[in-house]
Amino acid sequence: MSCDASPVRFLLVEDDDDHASLTIRAIRKAGVVTQIDRVIDGVEAMHFLLGEEPYADRKLPNLVLLDINMPRKSGLEVLREIRESPGISNLAVVILSTSSEERDISTAYHLKANSYLCKPVNSDEFRAMISELSQYWGVWNEPPPSE
């Protein structure tokens, strides 16, 4: 647990509105995260993380929750770009996807994702997962020092 109660910020990169609503609701319920930002696809995600317009005022998140299957730019491409961009390359990125395909999991780890989570179809499990995720990454995990 971090000794100073600094704000915990998550960035949710999710194109599906329903999934976004459900995830955000669950994160809020966990009561750990101070701020949840959501972008609707990978292009917006990079704009946000790189602090480009219209996200110039953004604060870097403690955790990026990244979906894989999105229009315009897939989550794995975003992951690669994050790892290749100075200033944000060490950000904690957790993949949160409906896909349980081995090749997606393999690629994600190859691209240095911190963790891979598969969205459960059962809603109780889904909420439990999001709750524990928030605890773990928001409370227990030490975020990387800023670069």
Partner 1 sequence: MEQRPLPEGLDRCEDEQISRPGVVQPHGVMFALDPDNLVVRHVSENSEAVLNRSPDSLVGVKITELVAASNRESLEGVLKNKLNSYSNPLSLEIGLEGEGRFFDGIASRAGELILLELDGEHPGNFQGDASRRSLEHHFELTSSTLMALAGSDSVAAAGQSLCENVKEFLGFDRVMLYVFADDGHGEVLAEARENALSPFLGLHYPASDIPENARQLYVQNLIRLIADVDAVPVDLYPPNPELDMTHATLRAVSPFHIRYLQNMGVTASMSISLVEGGKLWGLIACHHYSGPFEIPATRRISCVHLAMAVAGRLAAIQKQNEADQFLQRKDRLTRKIITLSKMRDLPEAFSQRAKGILDVFLADGLTFLSDRKDLTHGHALDPLRSRQLLKYLSPKSDGIQMSNSLRADFPSFEWREDEPAGVLVLRFGSQATLLLFRSERVSNVRWAGKQESKKDGPLTPRASFEEWVESVEGRCLEWSETDLRLASEFYSSLATHVLRQLARLNELNAKLKEQNDEIQQFAYTVSHDLKAPLVSVNGWIGVLEEDLEAGEYGELSHAIKRIRTAASRMGNLIEDLLEYSRIGRSEGQVEEISLNEMLRELAGTMETELEEKGIELRIQPDLPTVRGLTNSIYQIFLNLLSNAVKYGSSHSQPVIEVSCETTEFAVRCAVRDNGDGIAPEYHQKIFELFQRLSNDGEGTGVGLASVAKNVQIHHGECGVISLPDSGAEFWFTLPHKHPDNHEL
- Only segment of 65-73, 80-88, 105-113, 135-143 that touches partner 1 (CB under 8 A): 65-73
Q: What are phi and psi of 10, to 5 degrees?
A: -115, 145
Shortest distance in whole angstroms from residue 78 CB to partner 1: 15
Strands 35-39 and 115-118, by their bridges, are unpaired
Q: According to CB under 8 A, which one of 5, 124, 142, 146 is a site residue for partner 1?
A: 124
Q: According to CB under 8 A, which one of 2, 6, 7, 25 is a site residue for partner 1?
A: 25
Q: According to CB under 8 A, which one of 3, 122, 142, 146 is a site residue for partner 1?
A: 122
Q: According to CB under 8 A, which one of 19, 47, 58, 80 is a site residue for partner 1?
A: 19
Distance CA 23, CA 28 (A): 9
Q: What are phi and psi of 37, to 5 degrees?
A: -105, 145
The 3-state secondary structure of 43-77 reads: HHHHHHHCCCCCCCCCCCCCEEEECCCCCCCCHHH
Contact between 47 and partner 1 by CB under 8 A: the answer reads no
85-104: contacts with partner 1 (CB under 8 A):
98-99, 101
Q: What is the DSSP letter of 41?
A: S
Nearer to partner 1, 16 or 37 (CB): 16
